[in-house]
Chain A
Amino acid sequence: MGRFLLRRFTFFIITMFITSIIIFGLTWFLPADPCQIKLQRDATEARLETCRDDLGLNEPPAAQYVSWALDFIQGDWGESFFTNEPVYDDVIQRLNNSARLGFVVLVITVPFAVFFGVIAGLNENGILDVSISVTTLALVSLPEFVTGIFLVETVAQGWAKDWTWLPWELRSTASAFDPEMSLYESLPFITLPALAATLVLLGYIARLTRAGVIEELKRDYVRTAELKGLPYWQVVIKHVLRNALLPTVTVIAISIGWLMSGLVVIEWVFNYPGLGRFLVDAVQQNDLPRIQAISMISVSIILFANFLADLLYGILNPRIRLGDE
């Protein structure tokens, strides 16, 4: 187990390292001149020269990367090209908002998705399966902005206007959202974006779960379990789900990455002050330090989630737990 943990951790660090090089390279070396971008119309030769000195652009690329990476680890994420404010505080604030939304989405989605996936998988090609599969396929196929706009324009501003039974009012934009709010207080702002993200993610996880269950049902040991005379539910819970849901742990980690892509669009639709919206703003403003910081923090979260999932998978799966001693 110790060996396994060390191996996965090394993997995490190496991937993190390479990814950071990619992100730094893409944002810093791909554009012709970051200073040109920063100064834009104000760019005179003299100003460009000072700016290049400030940003260290005259150093060799490797040195630039090393000093950037060291600064980044220490929380110095540079200053925004646009506002000249330190990037760190803004990003952490936005990250906090996104995390709140993402958490709600995962908590709602995972149980439902796994439930529907298992039901569909157990009834492969039956009516239940076909209806669940077609619905989830449609959900996966709908772009997030279509789902989002539908929820805003048709549900929130249409049907839901007359719904008095809702425990809280549904807000179609989050412009009045305040990061200081408690989770409960923020529910009116979070509900619709969370619902939009849920619909998309639900289909994704449900389809993966279904595939896992179907594959597992074909295993010889499921036949053995049935021929032991175990009742059907016991075969399913003990022998099928135990192994079929193991990969779900990994799936949830992967879906965090998927969720991040989805949240970018959804936050834009609902005007929610999260990391995704912040990124789109930064891209539109060519604000390279913000783009770097947001993508680095997102990738770190995903890779760390994957690392945790690997560990959990290792703990749950005896073949890894004992095989690597």
Chain B
Amino acid sequence: MTTNTQSGVRQVPDSRENLYRIGGILRRLFYSVIRAPLTTLGTLIFAMFLIFALFSGQIAPYEYDDDQISRRGDLQRLQEPECPLTFLFETDCKNPFGTDLAGSDVFSRIIHGSREVFRLAGFGTLVAVIVGSTVGMLIGYYGGLLDEVVGRLLDSLMSIPVLLLALVLIGALGENSNNILVVLIIVYSPIVARVVRSNVLEIRTHGFVEAAKLRGEWPGYILFREILPSVIPALVVEASLRFSYAIFLVASLGFLGLGADPPTPNWGLMVSEYRDDFGLAPWTLNYSAGTISLLVISVNLMSDGIKRIVQRSS
């Protein structure tokens, strides 16, 4: 074969196309940070909460139900916030966010609460994503009657408002923080399944999937090796979105007095309790409500950014 009939010229591929190498991913990450400061901020705040949750025992100065008053023998019933913004740097700051009427350290309760949030919302989302994407992949790939029946069922489940379905489930299962996990899985799996299904429907018509069929590959290989990687970007977007709603749902249920009993450091429950003390100790409500809002906003900023990045690269 002569050299000039075929491509003898090898060129260094354009850097912008180099999407699938680690270097390319890092470079893109860097650009994303510059382009989207809000996304970065959200991600950082989220990371902070994640650290709080993972190391709550080490970070929180007290247990969530420690009674400060008896421990310190202080006559003053309530401790106001001492150093809300600089607590990281002041070693002698005992109660950065003050204490509540029960004499517990609000900061500690919030830190312990973040563990509770990640335990319920994070774990619930994770299982919902796994269950939902498995169902979605199967009905999307096989289609036909299976898709018809399961799809209709999912549609019907999704037509029930999330909080309503959650309340019905709690009413039936009983109030219990583990039941909240079940609720999250039942409520969010169908939504994830829908998203995955529609992605699979598109990807399964691509040439590379058909080529795999022509090789006689078994469905498991096609689903996990050929299709799954292309679904993952959409799945990540959906998971981050679900996570933010899950935090929301867990907090709302706690606020309604369902699924958590005092003195569990559930943020929703804390807001509901501290609301009654607002006149005497406004900071308790302010810090607990503020924390929930901060976490949800940061997760939303993050998932918004992930969505943009995924959309841009596809």
* A-to-B contact residues, CB < 8 Å: 14-15, 18-19, 22-23, 26-27, 30-31, 134, 137-138, 140-146, 149-150, 153, 257-258, 260-261, 264-265, 268, 279-280, 282-284, 286-288, 291, 295, 298-299, 302-303, 306
Question: What separation, in Å, do the CA atoms of A277 and B257 have in the docked complex?
Answer: 12
A15-B155, A26-B172, A146-B293 given; A280·B258 CB < 8 A:
yes
**Bound Cα distance from A298 to B164, whole angstroms:** 9
Is the beta-carbon distance between B162 and A261 smaller than 8 angstroms?
yes
Task: Say yes or no: A137 contacts B301, CB within 8 Å.
Answer: yes
Q: Which 4 A-B pairs have the closest CB atoms?
A: A261-B163, A18-B156, A283-B171, A30-B172
Determine which residue in A14, A15, A26, A258 has the highest number of CB atoms from chain B within 10 A of its CB, and name it.
A26
Give the residues in chain A near B156, CB-CB below 8 Å: 15, 18-19, 22
CA distance A121 to B301 in the complex (A): 18
B248 CB-CB contact with A under 8 Å: yes
Q: Out of A143, A283, A291, A295, which one reaches B251, CB within 8 Å?
A: A143
Asked if B161 and A141 make an inter-chain contact with CB atoms under 8 angstroms apart, the answer reads no
B167 beta carbon closer than 8 Å to chain A: yes
* Measured CA separation A280–B257 after assembly (Å): 9
Q: Specify the chain A residue showing the minimal Cβ separation from B166.
A: A261
Residues of B within 8 A of A280 (CB): 167, 256-258
Inter-chain contact A264/B167, CB cutoff 8 Å: yes
Asked whether A143 lies within 8 Å of B168 as measured between CB atoms, the reply is: no
Q: Which of B80-95 contact A (CB under 8 A)?
A: none
Within the complex, which residue of A19, A141, A144, A257 is in contact with B252, where a contact is CB–CB below 8 Å?
A144
Q: Are A19 and B251 in contact (CB under 8 A)?
A: no
Give bound CA distance, A19 to B153, whole Å.
Answer: 8
Contacts of B54 in A (CB 8 A): none
B63 within 8 A of A: no
Give the nearest-CB partner of B278 in chain A. Answer: A153
Q: How far is the CA of A153 from the CA of B277 in the complex (A)?
A: 11
Residues of B contacting A144 in the complex (Cβ-Cβ under 8 angstroms) = 252
Residues in A neighbouring B159, C-beta threshold 8 A: 15, 19, 257, 299, 302-303, 306
- Interface flag for B239 (CB, 8 Å): no
Q: Which of B143-182 contact A (CB under 8 A)?
A: 152-153, 155-157, 159-165, 167-175
Contact B160 A283 (CB under 8 A): no
Q: Are A141 and B300 touching (Cβ within 8 A)?
A: yes
**B38 at the A interface (CB under 8 A):** yes
Beta-carbon contacts under 8 Å, B6-51 to A = 38
Cβ contact within 8 Å between A22 and B163:
no
| Contacting pair B252 A288 (CB below 8 A) | no
Q: Is there an interface contact between A141 and B172, defined as CB atoms closer than 8 Å?
A: no
Nearest B residue to A20 via CB reads: B156
Min CB–CB distance B2 → chain A (angstroms): 44
Chain B residue with Cβ nearest A207: B304
SS class, residues of chain B in contact with chain A: helix
Question: Known: A137-B301, A141-B300, A146-B289. Is A295-B152 also a contact (CB below 8 A)?
Answer: no
In this complex, the interface size class of chain B, counting residues with CB under 8 Å from chain A, is 35 or more
Q: Which residues of B211-268 are within 8 A (CB) of A?
A: 244, 248, 251-252, 255-258, 268
Residues of B within 8 Å of A261, CB to CB, are 161-164
The answer to whether B296 has its CB under 8 Å from any CB of chain A is yes
Given A30-B173, A265-B252, A303-B159: A260 in contact with B300 (beta carbons within 8 A): no
Residue of chain A at shortest CB distance from B152: A18
B285 on the A face (CB < 8 A): yes
> Within the complex, which residue of B162, B164, B170, B296 is in contact with A143, where a contact is CB–CB below 8 Å?
B296
Closest A residue to B169 by CB, please name it.
A26
Chain A, residue nearest B295 (CB): A141
Query: Given A26-B168, A142-B293: A295 and B271 within 8 A (CB)?
Result: no
Answer whether A279 and B252 are a contact pair too, CB < 8 Å, given A257-B161, A298-B161.
Answer: no
Query: Which residues from B are CB-within-8-Å of A282?
Result: 171
Q: Chain B interface (Cβ within 8 Å of chain A)? A: 38, 152-153, 155-157, 159-165, 167-175, 244, 248, 251-252, 255-258, 268, 271-272, 275, 278, 282, 285, 289, 292-293, 296-297, 299-301, 304
Distance in angstroms between the alpha carbons of A265 and B156 in the assembled complex: 23
Contact A22 B157 (CB under 8 A): yes
**B258 proximity list for chain A (CB < 8 A):** 280, 283-284
Of chain A, the residue at the smallest CB distance from B244 is A141
A274 to B17, alpha carbons, bound, how many Å? 56
Chain B residue at smallest Cβ distance from A261: B163
Residues of B within 8 A of A283 (CB): 167-168, 170-171, 258
Q: Which residues from chain B contact A19 at a C-beta distance below 8 Å? A: 156-157, 159-160
- Name the B residues within 8 Å of A268 (CB-CB): 255-256
Contacts of B292 in A (CB 8 A): 143, 146
Q: In the complex, are the beta carbons of B275 and A288 less than 8 A apart?
A: no
Instruction: Identify the closest chain B residue to A142 (Cβ).
Output: B293
Q: How far is the CA of A261 from the CA of B165 in the complex (A)?
A: 9
Q: How distant is the Cα of A205 from the Cα of B169 in the complex, in angstroms? A: 28
Contact A302 B161 (CB under 8 A): yes
Given A153-B275, A268-B255, 4 more pairs with CB closer than 8 A: A18-B155, A142-B293, A143-B255, A287-B171
A302 partner residues in chain B, CB cutoff 8 A: 159-161
Q: How long is the Cα–Cα vector from A30 to B252 in the complex, in angstroms?
A: 23
Output the least CB separation between A59 and chain B (Å).
19
Which of B38, B157, B168, B278 sits near A295, CB closer than 8 Å?
B168
Chain B, residue nearest A303 (CB): B159
Contacts of B301 in A (CB 8 A): 137
A97 to B50, CA, bound (A): 42
B278 touches A143 (CB 8 A): no
- Residues in B with CB closer than 8 Å to A295 are 160, 164-165, 167-168
- With both chains docked as a complex, state the minimum distance between the C-beta of A40 and any C-beta of chain B, in angstroms: 13
Please measure, in the bound complex, the distance between the C-alpha atom of A302 and the C-alpha atom of B157, giving whole angstroms: 12
